[in-house]
Amino acid sequence: MKRFAILALGALMLGLPATAPVVFAQSATTAATLTEVSFDVPDMTCALCPLTVKTAMSGVNGVQSVEVDFDTRSATVIFDPTLTDAAAIAEASAQAGYPAAVRG
Ligand SMILES: [Cu+2]
């Protein structure tokens, strides 16, 4: 997503036609609305559990990326807050057998 901002900057510096930066600017705005939330997922017991959690969370509409860390029993999720929320993502993980709580 950072790439969009870099492209927009590059387009501005190159002095591309006025319409091009507008398109890039819209993409950058979309990227800026994404939300990142970290969850504690304490019930993961082996190195395969993160795959289940990642699959479950990734299946929620609006989720852009999921990184699960087994060592810290945590998951970091980037999502579009207009499509879903932390509660829905936690619920998807719980449905797969791994209750998740937003890290405080
Ligand atoms: Cu496991």
Instruction: Please answer whether residues 48 and 1 qualify as being in contact, where contact means their C-beta atoms are separated by less than 8 angstroms.
Output: no
Number of domains forming the structure of the chain = 2
Q: Which residues pair with 39 in a beta bridge?
A: 75, 102
How far is ligand 1, taken at its centre, from the CA of residue 71, in Å? 12
Q: Are residues 53 and 38 in the same domain?
A: yes
pLDDT tens digits, residue range 10-66? 444 554 444 444 444 445 555 569 999 999 999 999 999 999 999 999 999 999 999
Cα–Cα distance measured from residue 79 to residue 95, given in angstroms and rounded to the nearest whole number: 19
User: Does residue 23 sit in the same domain as residue 40?
Assistant: no
Domain co-membership, 44 together with 93: yes
Judge if 74 and 63 occupy the same domain: yes
The closest alpha carbon to 99, from 23, 45, 43, 51, belongs to 43
Burial of 48 (0-12, 13-18, 19+ CB in 10 A): exposed
Check residue 103 and give its pLDDT: 95
- What's the pTM? 0.70
Q: Are residues 18 and 51 in the same domain?
A: no
Name the residue range of residue 51's domain: 34-102
Mark whether 54 and 72 lie in a shared domain.
yes
Q: How far apart are the CA of 46 and the centre of ligand 1, in A?
A: 4
Q: What would the pLDDT profile of 61-98 be if each residue is shown by its tens digit? A: 999 999 999 999 999 999 999 999 999 999 999 999 99
- Determine the distance separating the centroid of ligand 1 and the alpha carbon of 91, expressed in angstroms: 19
pLDDT value at position 12? Answer: 45
Supply the pLDDT for residue 84: 98
Q: Are residues 13 and 42 in the same domain?
A: no
Is residue 39 domain-shared with residue 85, that is, in the same domain? yes
Same domain, 12 and 27: yes
